[in-house]
Amino acid sequence: MASPSTGRDRPLVAVLTPHWGIGTERGSITRQVAGALACSTDVHVVTPDGRMPGTRRDSVFNVHRMATSEGDRSAVRRDLVLASLAASTPSDARQTSIELDRLLDLDLVEPWSPARALLDDLRPDLVVLVDHRNIGGLAAVDQYDSGVPVVVLALAGDNDHLSFSHFDPVPERASHILTVTETERCAIAGRFGREEITHRIGAPLAANASALRFFGSAARARRINASGSPCSRRPRAIARASA
């Protein structure tokens, strides 16, 4: 499907993710969702990680590394604060404050500042925000265009972070929210009352041949290929998001 707004042959999707790689379950799920989108769109990955800023081709993806983050240190600090608050405060009694908001965002929002210029250049038809806590990515998107469609890949898992209202603007901005488990889907739908746009996609299969090397042996890859084109079996929610 062509992009009516830009005249491109295919829509362009920008995936804004704190990290890009396959070293973790979250990273693998992000890559698989991006791969499913790549079946019918041009996918550009924007991330603050990396040692040097620059753009390089990674399989079917164009990856723009801004090299502005401190690695995992800031995210670990945020998660320790959240874990401490979750352990000491009932979910219905958690209050936000300016001081807490600043602590949660410390060194996690500013690294996304260069993304605004990248989005200006890319002019995406759709933005995928990875992580329901991605406040910095959301700020960059809204500075670029507060009306561009946004899909949130929540990656909330079984954590208790959904009960912190500081992160509510991310799922509230979404046209669609993608979850991996039914528990995650119910938690998000229950909190935000947006069940009709909250979709369980499961742990998606590799979406193209270049991604198969990351998931199991060559024999497993052959079984997937023999059963039909992976693109033809991409989750319906992902297909709807890229339509």
The β-bridge partners of 176 are 151
Length of the chain: 243
Task: Considering only residues 224 and 205, tell me which one the structure prediction assigns the higher pLDDT.
Answer: 205
**Sequence-separated (6 or more) residues with CB below 8 Å from residue 210:** 35, 59, 60
10-38 pLDDT, tens digit each: 999 999 999 998 888 899 999 999 999 99
- Is residue 221's pLDDT more than 50? no
Return the pLDDT at 58: 95
- Percent with pLDDT over 70 in the chain: 78
Return the pLDDT at 66: 97
- Are 138 and 130 in contact by the 8 Å Cβ rule? The answer is no
Task: Considering only residues 10 and 234, tell me which one the structure prediction assigns the higher pLDDT.
Answer: 10
- Domains plus CATH for the chain? 12-70+108-242 (3.40.50.2000)
Residue 84, sorted as left (phi over 0), alpha (psi -120 to 50) or beta, turns out to be alpha
- Report pTM: 0.80
Closest CA to 96 of 156, 163, 172, 188: 163
